[in-house]
Structure 1
Amino acid sequence: MMRSLLAATSLVAVCLLSACDKPPRQRPTERSVLLAEVAPAPGAIASVLGQVRQAQRATLSFDMAGRVTSMAVHPGDRFVAGQVLATLDPVPARLRLTQARSEALAAHGESLERAEQLRQQTALFDDGAASQSSLTQARAADQVARGKAAAADAAVELAQRDLERSRILAPFAGTVVTRMAEPGSDLSAGQAVLAVEGEGELEVVASLPAALVSGLTVGDTAQLVGPDATAVSVRLSHLSTHLERGAITEGIFRVVAAPGRLSPGQWVQLRLAGKSASASYVAIPLTAMVPGTPAGNAAVFVFDVAHGQVVHRPVTVVATNGDRAVIGTGLSAGERVVAAGTAFLTDGQAVREFDGDSGLENH
C-alpha cells in the first residue's frame, strides 16, 4: 500500500515538473503600423493603360481552297495598295471558268431553241391550229430555259471571281505584321494567310473598370502620355457594353495627333478627365494595397480602433492617380488603413499606431 502511494506521489511530481518545463503560450505579436486616412477623391484623374494599334488593319485569306504557289512579302515588308501579296495555283480556277462558260453556251442555245418553239406555238394558236395546252407548255419550257441560262451566266461570273481571287491584293498601303502560310501549303477556304496593318490613323485600346465607364460617353477626350512623356489628345470612339469577368470593358480611343515615337504594339498611359470619377470615390496610398491578391481583386487592412486590430477588407480600384489608388467600393472617407507593410499582416492581428517620426506623410 505504501509502495503504491509513493509511486502515485512520484507521478504527480513528474507531471508538475514537466508542466513547469513547457514554455509559456505566446500571445499574437502586436505590430506598430503606419496609418493613412481614407480621403474623398472628387474630380480625380483616372489613369489606365492602353495598347497602341493601327486603326486600319486586316487578316487576309483566300476565298477558296487551294495550294499556295507564291508569297511575295515577309513580316515587316511594306506594300502599296493593290500590290499582289500571295497567289494560289490558278489552274483549278481556270478549268472551272472554262467549264462554266461551256455550260453557259449550252444553256443559251437551249434558251434560243425554246424561244423559237414558243414563237411557233403562238403563231399556230393564233391561227387556231394549236391548243391552249400546247401554248402553255411552250411558254413553261421557255421560262425554264431562260432560268437555266441566267444560272449559267452567274456560274461564269463566280468562276471568273474565283480566278481573280486566286491572288491576294493589298487592300491598302501598309506593312506586313504576320505571315501564316508558305509556298506549297494547302489551304482551306478562309484560312488566314497574312495579317497586315495600314499606315494611317492610330488608336489605343484599353480595358476600363466598370465603375469608370459609367462616367464616360463616346466623344470624350483624354490625354495620352507617350514613351517620350509627350502628352497628346485622344478621343473615345467606341465603348463596349459587355463586361469581361463583370469588372472591365473595352474602350477604343482615336489618336488625334501621335507623338513622334508612338508605334503599334506599345503600351501607353491614358489620363481620363475628372468627370469620370464620382464624388463618392475615395483615395488611399498605393502602398496600402495588399500584395498577392487574385487577379481582378484588391484588398486593404482597415484599422479597427475599438479593438486595436486590423481587418482585411476587399475593395474595388477604379483607377490610379500618381501614388494614390482611387477606390470605388469598400471604403468610406474618414476610415484609416494600414499604409505600409501590409504583406506582413493577418486578418484580426493586434496593432498599434506608429507615433514616431517616420518621415512619411500621413495622408
Structure 2
Amino acid sequence: MTTTVRPLAIVVMLGASLLLAGCGEEAEVEAPAPRPVRVVTVEKVMGGQVASFTGEVLAQDEASLAFRVSGRMIERSANVGDQVKAGQVVARLDPQNALNALRSAQAALAAAESQLVTAANTFGRQEQLLGNGFTTQANHDAARTALQAAQSGVDNAEAQLKIAQDNVSYTDLVADAAGTVTARGAEPGEVVQAGQMILQLARQGGRDAVFDVPANILRSASADQVITITLSDDPGVTATGRVREVAPQADPVTRTFRVRVGLDNPPAAMRLGSTVIGRVELGATAAIELPASALTAVNERPAVWVVDPVTGTVALRNIELRRFSQASIAVESGLSPGDVVVTAGVQALHPGQKVRLLGAGS
C-alpha cells in the first residue's frame, strides 16, 4: 500500500528543519577571545640625554677688509689661505687721483697762507694809523675782519690738506691684525667702491665651533654646559668649549638657532672650515620612557593604546613627544604614572577591543 504525503505536511516539515538548523548555527557563534597584547605600566624615571650636532670651525673674530675710497685696484698681494701680519699692505689702488688732490690741497694752503700774511700786514698798518688818528674806525674794523677771514681760510686749507693726505694713505689696504685670509672679493684691475670687501680676514686669537641647534635643546642645556667637540673625520682629535653666543632669532627656514661654542685650546688639526661634531649631555629630568613599538598615530598626531583596567578594553590616546628614537620615545604629556600602555600588537587593535595582558611591568 502506497503512503501519500500531503504538500502542506511537506512544507511544515521543511520549515521545522530550517528552524532547527538555524538555532544550531547561532549556538555555535561565540564572542571573540580577547586579543593577547604585551603592555607596560607607565612610571616616570630619571634619565639624561646626549645630544649631538654637526657644525664647522670658524674664527671667533672675522673682518672684511675694504678700501675707504673708490678707485682701480692695481695690486693684491694676499690670497685665500695666506697668513698676514698686522700692518701688512695686502692691496693697493691707483694713487694718481689722490696724489693730484693732495697737490691741489697743498697749493690751496700756500695761497691761503699768503692771503693771511697780506691781511695781517694790512691790519697792522691800520692799527698804527688808528693810533695816530690817520684812519677811521671803519677801515680798522674792515682790516680786522679780513684778517679773521684769512685765518679761517688757512684753517680750512689745512683741513683739506689733511683729508687729501688721508686719501692718499687710503689707497693702501692694510691688515689691522694678524690672521688668515678666508675669502677675496675683487681682483687686480677692477674698479672697486669704498667699503667693498676685498679680503675676508679671520683674525688670530680664537676659534668657534658653530652649530644650528633646536630650541628644545637650548632650553634643556645649562648656560655653562661643557661641550665636547670632535673632528668628524678623525674622532681622536677632540676639544672642549662652552657656549659663547646664541642667535637671538631662529632661522626662518629650519627654525633652529645659530650657536657659537668657544673652543678651549683647539688642536692645530681643527682648521678653519673643518667639520666637527659637538656632543652635550643634558641634565637628568623625570620623564616617561616607552618602547618605540608602542607609538602609533591618530588624527595626524602621535598616540598610544591605553588599557582600561576595569573593562579590559583599549582606547587610543594622543600624546606629546619630548624626543624620539628608533628604540624608545620620551613622552612630554598625555600619560600619567599608572597608565597601562600596549607595547606589542598595536597594529591589530581597534577602539573598545578586549585584550589579554601578556606582561605588565615598568
TM-score using structure 1 length: 0.65
What residue is the counterpart of 2:23 in the other structure? none
What residue is the counterpart of 1:101 in the other structure? 106
Which runs of 5 or more residues in structure 1 are unaligned? 1-31, 291-298
What is the CA distance between 1:258 and its match in structure 2?
0.9
Which runs of 5 or more residues in structure 2 are unaligned? 1-36, 309-313
Corresponding letter in the other structure for 2:239: V
> Rg larger in 1 or in 2?
2
After TM superposition, the structure 1 = structure 2 runs for residues 197-208 of structure 1, keeping only pairs within 5 Å, are 197-208=202-213
What is the rounded CA distance, in whole Å, between the counterparts of 2:140 and 2:295 in structure 1? 90
What residue is the counterpart of 2:272 in the other structure? 264
User: Given that residues 317 and 334 in structure 2 are in contact (C-alpha distance below 8 angstroms), is that contact kept between their aligned partners in structure 1?
Assistant: no
User: Given that residues 234 and 256 in structure 1 are in contact (C-alpha distance below 8 angstroms), is that contact kept between their aligned partners in structure 2?
Assistant: yes
What is the CA distance between 1:202 and its match in structure 2?
1.0
**Is 1:60 paired with 2:58?**
no
Q: How many residues get paired?
A: 310
What is the CA distance between 1:53 and its match in structure 2?
0.7
Corresponding letter in the other structure for 1:222: V
Corresponding letter in the other structure for 1:59: S
After TM superposition, the structure 1 = structure 2 runs for residues 1-363 of structure 1, keeping only pairs within 5 Å, are 44=49, 46-213=51-218, 220-227=224-231, 228-245=235-252, 248-272=256-280, 274=282, 277=283, 279=285, 301-305=302-306, 308-309=315-316, 311=318
User: Given that residues 41 and 326 in structure 1 are in contact (C-alpha distance below 8 angstroms), is that contact kept between their aligned partners in structure 2?
Assistant: no
**Cα deviations by residue, 1:191-244 (Å, 9 ceiling, x for unpaired):** 1111222344212233444455457787x2522321124443313333444444
User: Given that residues 55 and 278 in structure 2 are in contact (C-alpha distance below 8 angstroms), is that contact kept between their aligned partners in structure 1?
Assistant: yes
What is the rounded CA distance, in whole Å, between the counterparts of 1:336 and 1:264 in structure 2? 52
What residue is the counterpart of 1:5 in the other structure? none
What is the rounded CA distance, in whole Å, between the counterparts of 1:39 and 1:69 in structure 2? 70
What is the CA distance between 1:43 and its match in structure 2?
5.9
User: Given that residues 300 and 338 in structure 1 are in contact (C-alpha distance below 8 angstroms), is that contact kept between their aligned partners in structure 2?
Assistant: no
SS of structure 2 residue aligned to 1:308: strand
User: Given that residues 310 and 349 in structure 1 are in contact (C-alpha distance below 8 angstroms), is that contact kept between their aligned partners in structure 2?
Assistant: no
SS of structure 2 residue aligned to 1:115: helix
What is the rounded CA distance, in whole Å, between the counterparts of 2:142 and 2:342 in structure 1? 94
Corresponding letter in the other structure for 1:55: Q
User: Given that residues 224 and 231 in structure 1 are in contact (C-alpha distance below 8 angstroms), is that contact kept between their aligned partners in structure 2?
Assistant: yes
Q: Percent of counterpart pairs with the same letter?
A: 22
Specify whether residues 129 and 177 from structure 1 end up closer, same or farther in structure 2 by C-alpha distance, changes over 3 A only. Answer: same
User: Given that residues 282 and 326 in structure 1 are in contact (C-alpha distance below 8 angstroms), is that contact kept between their aligned partners in structure 2?
Assistant: yes
**Cα deviations by residue, 1:63-93 (Å, 9 ceiling, x for unpaired):** 1111121222332233333333222111111
TM-score using structure 2 length: 0.65
Specify whether residues 169 and 125 from structure 1 end up closer, same or farther in structure 2 by C-alpha distance, changes over 3 A only. Answer: same
User: Given that residues 204 and 252 in structure 1 are in contact (C-alpha distance below 8 angstroms), is that contact kept between their aligned partners in structure 2?
Assistant: yes
